[in-house]
Structure 1
């Protein structure tokens, strides 16, 4: 509890109370240090729980996705299996067709060669027929001459004349037959010539068909091999997907157990942190009670000085209202307007301009009181700090970490220490805490505060921060 004000003005120093106050101060230091550690562990455990939750979610998503992959691979395997059967059938068909095409093409090429030989034979027949026609002409001439000689011989040559006439008729028939043969040979030669030309073209096409059939057979064979490899790969992938599924199913319960254990640990740390914070309150109450009951403390000078400074601020605020520099409504207004583009966020209140004018005289003087003093600021019950010491009131830059350490005015410090200092109405409140300096740096400090009253109305508190 907070000590009753009637004990704060003890007339004598009790050595036992002084010793108790010393122990209470040490206890407060250690408890706050432990609390800071537990708070860090608590935050870290909460982050780990969050990460673990995402991992568990990811594991479930992996199982779902892997199941979909397995289904897809199964379908692909079936498709490649059917495709392989069709391709192999097509390869066999094309190969058989190619073989037949090659046979036909070979026959066509042989036909072209035979037509060449037929053409050659026809040329020989034509030559022979020409010889026959020539012989027939010669025989005809001889028959005519024989008939002439038979006529000269008279009756004695009559028989020879009959023979000559018969020979003449035979030669004429032979000549006419040779002419008919010549015409037929010419017609046949013309046909054979056209057949030779066509056979030559068909032979070229047949050669192309043979080459194409060989290329088609090779291409289809490669396709079949590719489909076989794809089929084998999908079977391997399907087997690997089964392994992944088994592995995920195996570690999922482990993840659940880890998550359960981590949540239990986090809950325990959070409870311990809460209890330590209550222990801090208890240690602070013990210290204040011992001082109020007559115990001396190394902080006694700071206590007296901060109470005096808080009274000065109370007077400045009261005079400001009386002189019309600020209205009571504005001084006690709790509306905070964020300043755009600030990081960490800064705010303006209706009384910020007024405090910037009157507080530096008191706050800057407190910095020179003792080398241990780090800061002196006024804070309202909501943790709003309008005006800081000049060295901590630098204009913000682009680095949030630098801003956190050097631009601490017009900021909300609504942590445990800040709120207790702003809301305390007892003569003083001494707290030990880890001051966040930004960029992950903390400093163990004492926070001593005294309430600020304006015409009996509680405005906030004056905080004095100093090192051990």
Structure 2
């Protein structure tokens, strides 16, 4: 395991001025590097938030542009349909006009029928007069004219019936002619408003109203099309700008990560030099605690309380009804049993220490400090801050910690405390091995 240099075990009062100066310089460098790391971590987190916000805004603008584009297509379709409707109305008007002309022809034919019926009536009337005269003459003839009288009576009756039928035809034709003429007037009327006021509507008025409605729809669709096209162009431009801003922010975030990594390297170099720095007590305690955790895990396997397969179980099962989601692994009960005896004392190392946890290679934390292992309630934000055990944490800092194989790794990061609250901290981790197999890491988080 990790061993510190002799300087860490020498008396605080040093006689050798050069060595004291070196310790002071290295300590100053480590402190300055820590300050740089703190600012870099804070700036990195803020830029990351801005980049995420810009990314979401870009996605929103893209979705909005898609909706507007769909509106443009819909208005184009409306415009196309209204053009077809206009053609249909024109054809309907021509058809109605042809019907009007046909109706006029019918009225002409009805006039001819009326004339013929009138002529038949006149003939029937004359026939009745002739039959009457014949009947009178037959009566004068006496017995010799009896047969002739019968025929004359029959002719007179027939003429009466014909006259009656002709008059009925005349009456019907007259009524029909009036109705058809009114219909023809409606169909061919050009004074739609006057007809509409007088009769409650005309074919021409109806067709004209449809034409005006279709024209209004076409005009509105064209107006919408122009408006949507303009907005679409603006939104597309904004979307490109926001996407460019998000990309620039991501690039800036990567550059701040470079500063952060440099500051962390300086701190590690200072710690590894053997010169005591402000981080040395935390490193010593973490290394000792990591050694004790490995002993406890291996002891549990040796005693049969869990197997190696259980210790490296990666089938984390969801705990129903939890928000944020919590999980159980086969090694979780054993960790809950033995780890608090190591993790809780680390909190008393210094008021600066905020947490101490052991995470497996997936970023899963089975056991947290008691103050962060409260039963979940109904508020997810409260749970986020107070029920942090049995959960996964897989950010940049967490992944670096659980994948580290060096004696220790000291990082600076912005910790999400839940509810939009963040704290810039140091994350000190040491790797954990179980029977020679890498299991995860012990992480200790403390403030500047």
**Match for 2:55 among 33, 46, 68?**
46
Note if contact 1:383-1:413 (Cα within 8 Å) is conserved in structure 2: yes
Equivalent in the alignment of 1:282: 262
* Superposed displacement of residue 38, structure 1: 0.9
What residue in structure 1 maps to residue 357 of structure 2? 377
What is the alpha-carbon distance in structure 1 between the residues aligned to residue 419 and residue 109 of structure 2? Answer: 85
Structure 2 counterpart of 1:229, from 200, 203, 209: 209
1:436 to 1:217, Cα distance in 2 relative to 1, 3 A = farther
Aligned pairs, number = 422
- Alignment correspondent of 1:198: 165
CA apart distance, 1:79 = 2.6
2:180 paired residue number: 213
> SS where residue 434 of structure 1 aligns?
strand
Distance 2:165 2:378 in 1: 90
The answer to whether the 8 Å contact 1:393/1:408 transfers is yes
Check the 8 A contact 2:300/2:306 in 1, yes or no.
Answer: yes
Shift in Å at residue 386 of structure 1? 1.7
Q: What SS is found at the alignment partner of 2:8? A: coil
Give the 3 Å change call, closer, same or farther, for CA 43–188 of structure 1 in structure 2. Answer: same
Q: For the aligned residues, what is the CA RMSD? A: 4.3
Supply the distance in 1 between the matched residues of 2:116 and 2:346 (Cα, whole angstroms): 118
1:86 to 71, 89, 95: 95
Q: Does the CA contact (< 8 Å) of 1:108 and 1:206 recur in 2?
A: no
Matches within 5 A, 1:34-433: 34-58=43-67, 60-98=69-107, 101=110, 103=111, 186-199=153-166, 201-202=168-169, 205-206=172-173, 209-210=176-177, 212-213=179-180, 216-217=183-184, 220=187, 222-242=202-222, 244-245=224-225, 257-293=237-273, 294=275, 296-297=277-278, 301-331=281-311, 333=312, 335-339=314-318, 341=320, 343-367=323-347, 370=350, 372-394=352-374, 401=381, 403-433=383-413
- Mind listing any 5+ residue stretches in structure 1 that lack a counterpart? 137-171
Deviations 1:10-38 (A, max 9, x none): 74573444443333333222211111111
Name the larger-Rg structure.
1
C-alpha contact 2:62 2:236 (8 A) present in aligned 1: no
1:179-203 CA-to-partner distances (Å, cap 9, x unmatched) read 7896566435422442354346435
In structure 2, do the counterparts of structure 1 residues 376 and 268 end up closer, same or farther at CA, with 3 Å as the change threshold? Answer: same
Per the TM alignment, residue 252 of structure 1 is displaced from its structure 2 partner at its CA by 5.8
Spell out structure 1 runs of 4+ moving beyond 6 A.
Answer: 108-119, 175-182
Deviation sequence 1:258-297 (CA, Å, 0-9, x none): 4544443322211111121222222222234345553542
After superposition, give the CA deviation of every residue in 1:55-99 in whole Å (9 maximum; x if it has no partner): 444455455544444443333332322222112221232244346
Check conservation: 2:327, 2:390, Cα contact below 8 A: yes
Please tell me whether residue 460 in structure 1 is matched to residue 440 in structure 2: yes
Alpha-carbon distance in 2 for matches of 1:42, 1:29 = 20
Once the two structures are overlaid, the 10-residue window that deviates more, 378-387 or 74-83, is 74-83
Residues 97-137 of structure 1: CA deviation (Å, up to 9, x unaligned): 34654x46876997899799889x969x78xx97x99xx9x
